[in-house]
Amino acid sequence: MINSFSALRYVADFKKFFLGKEIYVITLEGYKIVVRPRTSDIYCIGEIIVNEEYLPSIKGVGSHFDTILDLGANIGCFSIWAARKLRPEKIISVEMEKSNYESLLKNITLNNLKRVVVPVRAAIYSKDTQIWIKASAVVKSVDKLSETDTGVKVRTFSLKSLVDLYQINKIDYFKMDIEGSEKFVLTEENREIFRKRVKYLFMEAHHFLKNDPKASLQYFRDLGFEVKTKFQVRRPLAPYLIEAFNPVFKKNGF
């Protein structure tokens, strides 16, 4: 598992990272990735591209992933990694923050993935509306959603609206890292979506913004999913990593 010090070696040019003002591109493991100076981009690169922490470890999940949903795509490290490693037909990549989304678009283009990765600038919320996002003063990578007019306006989708809009009947790999907004996804009304449409999920469950990672874990246990978890001890405000596999798809051989 990568830590803040070992992550630095993946930015390729320390001077550009610490002193530079312009976004630059590195080539790593065959991927081309944009890096923003003095940001958490290095964590994404190290954990996803180098450590491959999102490889499924539950037996029986298999290697066939036609459709992937990436909630909290950030700069797109998971999407470009999954496009090559898992070879899906389609990845829906959802990111709400403007700078992250711009980097996501660049990474899709740099890696020639426009036919595979579908970028969506939006937030996942309890309903379809427009909402304001405001960067946290404490944790710079965390954005808060508010129905009060403060910050930057962005459109929102409920999970049901999103999967219906993009005609997603089955999600082979559901990746979720939405910095505390999982509470808008792991709801009573979404149980049927997970029960019938989601084969496998890998998520980060966070402590902050009144979230309880154990509640996220219990959500999938109650659905009858096979669940594995571990704790990222080397990261600030470390989240739980949760894997969940739907036994319905195992029984049906999908």
Residue 24 to residues 102, 130, 150, 170: CA-CA distances in angstroms?
A: 13, 32, 31, 36
The dihedrals phi and psi of 62, each to the nearest 5 degrees, come to: 80, -170
Q: What is the per-residue pLDDT for 240? A: 82
Which residue has tokens 């959802």? 94
- Does residue 195 contact residue 248 with C-beta atoms inside 8 Å? yes
Q: In this structure, are strands 24-28 and 31-35 parallel, antiparallel, or unpaired?
A: antiparallel
Does the residue 196 lie in any domain?
yes
Q: Could you give the CA distance from residue 104 to residue 117 in angstroms, rounded to a whole number?
A: 10
Q: Could you give the CA distance from residue 11 to residue 74 in angstroms, rounded to a whole number?
A: 17
Measured on CA atoms in the order 49, 54, 57, 61, is the torsion positive or negative? negative
- Does residue 74 contact residue 177 with C-beta atoms inside 8 Å? yes
The predicted model scores a pTM of 0.90
Under 8 Å CB-to-CB from 205, ≥6 apart: which residues? 182, 211, 213, 216, 217, 239, 240, 241, 242
Does the residue 157 lie in any domain?
yes
Parent domain of 76: 6-251
What is the per-residue pLDDT across 142-160, written as a single tens digit (0 to 9) for each? 455 656 666 678 999 999 9
Does the residue 213 lie in any domain?
yes
Positions of the chain with pLDDT lower than 70, given as ranges: 1-8, 10-12, 134-151, 207-211, 231-239, 251-254
Q: How far is CA 232 from the centre of its chain?
A: 16
Q: Could you give the CA distance from residue 51 to residue 132 in angstroms, rounded to a whole number?
A: 34
**Adjacency order of strands within the sheet including 117-121:** 117-121, 90-95, 67-71, 173-176, 200-205, 240-245, 226-231
- Does residue 111 contact residue 83 with C-beta atoms inside 8 Å? yes
Does the residue 1 lie in any domain?
no
Does the residue 15 lie in any domain?
yes
Does the residue 217 lie in any domain?
yes
- The structure tokens listed for 108 are 């899709």
Q: What is the CATH number of the domain that holds 228?
A: 3.40.50.150
What is the per-residue pLDDT across 1-41, written as a single tens digit (0 to 9) for each? 555 556 667 666 788 888 899 999 999 989 999 999 999 89
The dihedrals phi and psi of 29, each to the nearest 5 degrees, come to: 55, 30
Does the residue 49 lie in any domain?
yes
Q: For the chain, what is the domain count?
A: 1
Does the residue 74 lie in any domain?
yes
Q: What is the per-residue pLDDT for 131? A: 84
